[in-house]
């Protein structure tokens, strides 16, 4: 009986040499799966990482400007409160905070977002303060109108002009 068990384990007489050998190839399928999942996660979360101050932007027909650098955003809400990104700041402390954030680089792009209900003078006061501090790349942000020719970029804010 032992002879029949031994002979059934052999194939072609050389079955003892055909044991499992380690594979020398790398299986990249799990790696590709993980990378695709991470790509989808980053594509979904990246648009959510925008400035969180709620501002009702005015509409404009201007085209958006493609800029590879991440701009600094100053927001003025309907009550006239000034924010740098998500942090509230007073007007007299705006320039020192900007200089600290930009590391005294006057060529840093700064976007000013002003609520539609705020007085234009308040927005100009903020822009004048930033411009007098030496920052020359200051632009207003406006929202493209719905149903415009921009298509998918309708929700994206667009720089309306540059001072």
Start and end residues for every CATH 3.30.420.270 domain found in the chain:
52-162
Question: Is the model's pLDDT at 97 over the cut of 80?
Answer: yes
Question: Is the model's pLDDT at 40 over the cut of 90?
Answer: yes
Torsion sign, CA atoms 73, 99, 118, 124: negative
Residue 76: name the closest of 54, 95, 60 by CA: 54
Q: Are the CB atoms for 142 and 58 separated by under 8 Å? A: yes
Domain 52-162 is of which CATH architecture? 2-Layer Sandwich (3.30)
Res. 69 pLDDT band, cuts 50 70 90? low
State the Cα–Cα distance between residues 139 and 64, nearest whole angstrom.
11
Question: Is the model's pLDDT at 74 over the cut of 70?
Answer: yes
Mean pLDDT for the stretch of residues 52-71: 66
Residue 75: name the closest of 126, 121, 132 by CA: 126
Res. 108 pLDDT band, cuts 50 70 90? confident
pLDDT of residue 4: 47
pLDDT averaged over the chain? Answer: 75
CA dihedral 101, 103, 105, 108 (to 10 degrees): -30
pLDDT of residue 99: 86
Res. 36 pLDDT band, cuts 50 70 90? very high
Question: Is the model's pLDDT at 118 over the cut of 60?
Answer: yes
Helix 94-102 vs helix 120-132: crossing angle, to nearest 10:
50
Q: Are the CB atoms for 115 and 77 separated by under 8 Å? A: yes
As a whole-number percent, the residues of the chain with pLDDT over 70 amount to 67
Q: Within 10 A of 79 (CB to CB), how many other CB atoms are there?
A: 8
Res. 52 pLDDT band, cuts 50 70 90? low
Where do runs of H (alpha helix) occur along 25-162? 29-45, 94-102, 120-132
pLDDT of residue 41: 92
């Amino acid at each position: 009986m032992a002879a029949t068990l031994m002979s059934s384990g052999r194939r072609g007489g050389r079955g003892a040499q055909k044991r499992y050998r380690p594979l020398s190839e790398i299986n990249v399928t799990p790696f590709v799966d993980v990378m695709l999942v991470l790509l989808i996660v980053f594509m979904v979360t990246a648009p959510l990482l925008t400035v969180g101050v709620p501002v009702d932007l005015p509409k404009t027909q201007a085209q958006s400007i493609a800029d590879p650098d991440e701009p600094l955003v100053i927001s003025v809400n309907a009550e006239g409160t000034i924010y740098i990104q998500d942090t509230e700041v007073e007007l007299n402390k705006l320039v020192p905070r900007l200089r600290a954030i930009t590391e005294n680089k006057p060529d840093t792009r700064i976007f000013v977002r002003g609520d539609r209900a705020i007085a234009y003078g308040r927005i100009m006061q903020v822009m004048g303060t930033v411009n007098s501090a030496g920052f020359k790349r200051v632009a207003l942000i406006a929202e493209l109108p719905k149903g415009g020719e921009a298509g998918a970029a309708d929700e994206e804010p667009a720089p309306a002009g540059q001072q």
